[in-house]
Structure 1
Amino acid sequence: MSALPPGTEVLADPDAVARAAAERLVAVARAAPGRAAICLSGGSTPGRLYGLLAGPDYRDRLPWDRLHWFFGDERVGDAPEAGSNLRMVREAFGPAAPVPPGHLHPIPAAGAPEEGAAAYESALRAWYGADRLDPARPLFDLVLLGLGEDGHTASLFPGKPAVDVADRWVVGVPEAGLAPFVPRVSLTIPALSATRHLLFLVTGAGKRAPLRRLAAGEDLPAGRARAAGEAAWLLDAAAAG
């Protein structure tokens, strides 16, 4: 590959990516002076990360009493896939993760996507304590994101209206751009970018094509996300090529 995104670190495999992400998350959480907000991503590599955080190597290094966990997107509605990101996080954390009651903030998975989006946006505004995002006061301390084979991130798909929404924090996505074609709720680009640290976890040979497209300057949803501070990409060797 001729180019990789700025702030890229290439690691051996998905397990190494998850461990490097765990080290970064611990550092961000411990550096936060008060409560810390982490925005979670779905996917297999993040699942490895969440399992590590609850495991013996990292559990005692995290200030769980100050950590609040949010979600970048969720599948909603009546399909079996509804609530899958929440389910994955709970299973990956397992009973060993000392998450205090009320510190896991799931996206409502029942009902229409716009209903879930409105409810989650209201919850985020209440957490933040304001109705407008202030660039000097990020909403999150860390946002975790992935990269789809079509260049999507969270549930913001190329060519779909949700990608261009700039006046909302959360938006309903009636139809996904890739299977499973179930309704979603997703944070918008402005909300995902309202973070001190942004961390992409990208693994697998199927991600080489979107990485090349990003490197060539193509306007893909994943390329629109920014951070108030550091933005980094953790790739495994298969994705980096």
Structure 2
Amino acid sequence: MLETFPSAAAVGEACAHAVAACLKDALRTRGRAGLVATGGRSPGPVYDRLKDADLDWARVVVTLSDERCVDMSSEESNARQVRERLLTGRAAKAHLLPLWPKPDPAALAALTPFDAVMLGMGEDGHVASLIPGDPGLSQALATPDLLADVPEGLGKPPVPRVSLTLSALLNSRAIFLLVAGEAKRQVIDRAKAGDDLPVARLLNQAQVAVRVFWSPSH
């Protein structure tokens, strides 16, 4: 489950190759592909390589695992990072479905099951914006709805957010979890041992395969 790499660059190469393979398979078998991208530092090296993948990007729709409720021009916007780092080069032809403002639920549902889901993880064990301490976390982990609202005061920065629910994340064909540093590796170990963390809900289920890419540093 945990795949170890010497550097963030090596993670980027391996994960980009794996995600591209999922998208290629979807394009070949279904004629379209859906990718869930994510924010934070970890996916950057993946995007740097994935953007040049030899795909029919015009038939790929990219959405996000979660989003801060800020304008897309804000430096805090995950969509901005995806636009600037992934949706360039060959990947500029892909379509972006932002989570803020909230999309039409039917448009988001049409992407499911997602062909590939990319996620990071915090040292508190959160994935997407399924954050410990959120009074709505239990609902977000249990609801069949695709989206959950997250109040301000949680995460960094502590702004309101919208997140894919656990049900939405698991409505996918493959999940790729990007983890860096010894502290986060210990969180993975705790989650696999049974600690009640959001990431444990991903790791300790049999519905969809989860590959964890770990490197000692970003």
SS of equivalent to 2:43: helix
Asked if the contact 1:120–1:170 (Cα under 8 Å) also holds between the matched residues in 2, the reply is no
Aligned-pair identity (%): 37
SS of equivalent to 1:45: coil
Match of 2:210 in 1: 231
Match of 2:23 in 1: 29
- Post-superposition offset of 1:218: 0.3
What TM-score, normalized to structure 1?
0.78
Distance in 1 (alpha carbons) for counterparts of 2:174 and 2:137: 21
Q: Which amino acid aligns with 2:11?
A: V
Match of 1:107 in 2: 99
Distance 1:78 1:19, change over 3 A: closer
Distance 1:100 1:220, change over 3 A: same
Match of 1:132 in 2: none
Asked if the contact 1:75–1:81 (Cα under 8 Å) also holds between the matched residues in 2, the reply is no
What whole-Å deviation, never above 9, does each CA across 1:71-107 have from its counterpart, x for those lacking one? 1100004798576111111111364234336x11111
Asked if the contact 1:19–1:49 (Cα under 8 Å) also holds between the matched residues in 2, the reply is yes
What whole-Å deviation, never above 9, does each CA across 1:47-82 have from its counterpart, x for those lacking one? 221121224xx3xx2231221111110000479857
Alignment of 1:30-69 (within 5 A): 30-32=24-26, 33=29, 34-55=31-52, 58=53, 61-69=54-62
1:203 pairs, out of 158, 180, 183, with 180
Asked if the contact 2:147–2:164 (Cα under 8 Å) also holds between the matched residues in 1, the reply is yes
Match of 2:170 in 1: 193
2:131 pairs, out of 150, 157, 176, with 157
1:97 pairs, out of 90, 110, 132, with 90
Distance in 1 (alpha carbons) for counterparts of 2:158 and 2:57: 35
Q: Which amino acid aligns with 1:91?
A: E
Match of 2:81 in 1: 88
Q: Where does structure 1 lack aligned partners over 5 or more consecutive residues? A: 1-6, 110-115, 129-137
Distance 1:211 1:228, change over 3 A: closer
Distance 1:78 1:108, change over 3 A: closer
Please give the root-mean-square deviation of Cα atoms over the aligned residues, in Å. 2.4
Q: Which amino acid aligns with 2:188?
A: L
How many positions carry a matched residue from both structures? Answer: 210
What TM-score, normalized to structure 2?
0.85
What whole-Å deviation, never above 9, does each CA across 1:117-153 have from its counterpart, x for those lacking one? xx4534313x25xxxxxxxxx5201111111010000
Give 1 or 2 for the bigger CA radius of gyration: 1
* 1:12 and 2:6 are equivalent in the alignment: yes
Match of 1:214 in 2: 191
* 1:148 and 2:132 are equivalent in the alignment: no
- Post-superposition offset of 1:213: 1.9
Q: Where does structure 2 lack aligned partners over 5 or more consecutive residues? A: none
